[in-house]
């Protein structure tokens, strides 16, 4: 067992990347994965909407179902009818996070850029800015902050307790949970897939006819499929929560 455990790379090796050939731009494996994900997202949208027709072709149906999913299941269902305004932003967030997560199982890359905390943090900061700015723009700064800090229907004395909690949960906890949820879901997924791959490789190295080999490989394949599902689910949850926060900011006291 100790020989197996010794071959598992340490966490730092799994998540720290050095720039290729000490290049001046500092391009690392993560940047490469992000560039490929970005190119894939652009390519998907370009192929789907290159020639739009009234009777959609095969590619256009796929593209419309992606946009329709974000529009109907996220924007309109969570925000309401004026949620259509936010579809471009939500679609961008959803697609980029989905393709970043998808890099986890992409052949040849096998590293999700979203498991580096800077990437989800950026999305979370953008979401924070969007829901605050939209809230202030729709309701005015006074009404917006009054709705957050002094929720109606509460005895006045409770505000001493409630106002700091509400301020913290809206302004601080929301972006932090958005960041950590996405980061650690992808980090845990990447860890599990790496551990299983290393385990399969070391069992193979010990003896290719080992009885333990088929179960390990089957579990690895199944978990790869599961991680694809998790990547989609996390993108969906991130976008839904962003929409929820925007909805809460745009229409206070629902």
Partner 1 sequence: MDTAILAQAAADNNEGFTAIARGLVYGLAAIGPGIGIGYLVGQTVAAIARQPEAAGQLRTTMFIGIALVEALAIFGLALSFIVAG
Burial class from Cβ neighbours inside 10 Å (0-12, 13-18, 19+) for residue 237 reads middle
Q: Where are the beta strands (DSSP E) in 121-246?
A: none
Region binding partner 1 by CB under 8 A among candidate stretches 36-44, 130-138, 209-217, 229-237 = 229-237
Nearer Cβ to partner 1 (3/12): 12
CB-CB contact of 93 with 178 (8 Å): no
Indicate whether 244 belongs to the interface with partner 1 (CB under 8 A). yes
Nearer Cβ to partner 1 (147/189): 189
Of 93, 132, 170, 185, the one binding partner 1 by CB under 8 A? 185
Task: Report how many residues bind partner 1 under the rule CB under 8 A.
Answer: 17
Structure tokens at 196: 């299983």
Of 29, 38, 49, 236, the one binding partner 1 by CB under 8 A? 236
Question: Other CB atoms closer than 10 Å to residue 110's CB: what's the count?
Answer: 16
Question: Other CB atoms closer than 10 Å to residue 201's CB: what's the count?
Answer: 13
Of 13, 52, 65, 177, the one binding partner 1 by CB under 8 A? 177
Task: Report the nearest approach of partner 1 to the CB of residue 147 (Å).
Answer: 20
Structure tokens at 206: 């010990």
| Separation of alpha carbons 124 and 79, rounded Å | 18
Task: Report the nearest approach of partner 1 to the CB of residue 173 (Å).
Answer: 9
Nearer Cβ to partner 1 (95/182): 182
Indicate whether 77 belongs to the interface with partner 1 (CB under 8 A). yes
Match 């924070």 to its residue by tokens: 128
Of 149, 180, 192, 228, the one binding partner 1 by CB under 8 A? 180
Residues contacting residue 100 through CB under 8 Å, at least 6 positions apart = 33, 34, 37, 112, 113, 114, 119
- Please report, as ranges, the residues that interact with partner 1 according to CB under 8 A: 11, 73, 77-78, 177, 180-181, 184-185, 187-188, 233, 236-237, 240-241, 244
């Amino acid at each position: 067992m100790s020989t197996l455990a010794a071959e598992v790379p340490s966490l730092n090796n799994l998540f720290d990347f050095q720039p290729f050939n000490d290049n001046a731009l500092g391009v690392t494996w993560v940047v490469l994965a992000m560039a490929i994900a970005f190119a894939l997202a652009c390519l998907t949208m370009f192929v789907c909407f290159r020639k739009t027709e009234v009777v959609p072709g095969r590619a256009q149906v796929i593209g419309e179902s992606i946009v329709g999913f974000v529009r109907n299941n996220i924007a309109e269902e969570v925000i309401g009818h004026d949620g259509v305004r936010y579809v471009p932003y939500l679609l961008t967030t959803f697609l980029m996070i989905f393709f970043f997560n998808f890099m986890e199982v992409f052949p040849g890359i096998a590293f999700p850029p979203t498991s580096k905390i800077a990437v989800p943090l950026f999305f979370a900061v953008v979401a924070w800015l969007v829901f605050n700015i939209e809230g202030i723009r729709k309701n005015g700064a006074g009404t917006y902050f009054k709705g957050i800090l002094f929720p109606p229907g509460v005895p006045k004395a409770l505000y001493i307790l409630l106002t700091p909690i509400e301020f913290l949960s809206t302004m601080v906890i929301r972006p932090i949970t958005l960041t950590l949820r996405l980061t650690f879901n992808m980090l845990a997924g990447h860890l599990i897939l790496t551990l299983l791959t290393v385990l399969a490789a070391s069992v193979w190295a010990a003896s290719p006819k080992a009885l333990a080999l088929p179960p390990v490989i089957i579990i690895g394949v199944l978990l790869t499929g599961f991680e694809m599902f998790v990547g989609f689910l996390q993108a969906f949850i991130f976008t839904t929560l962003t929409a929820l926060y925007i909805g809460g900011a745009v229409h206070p006291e629902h």
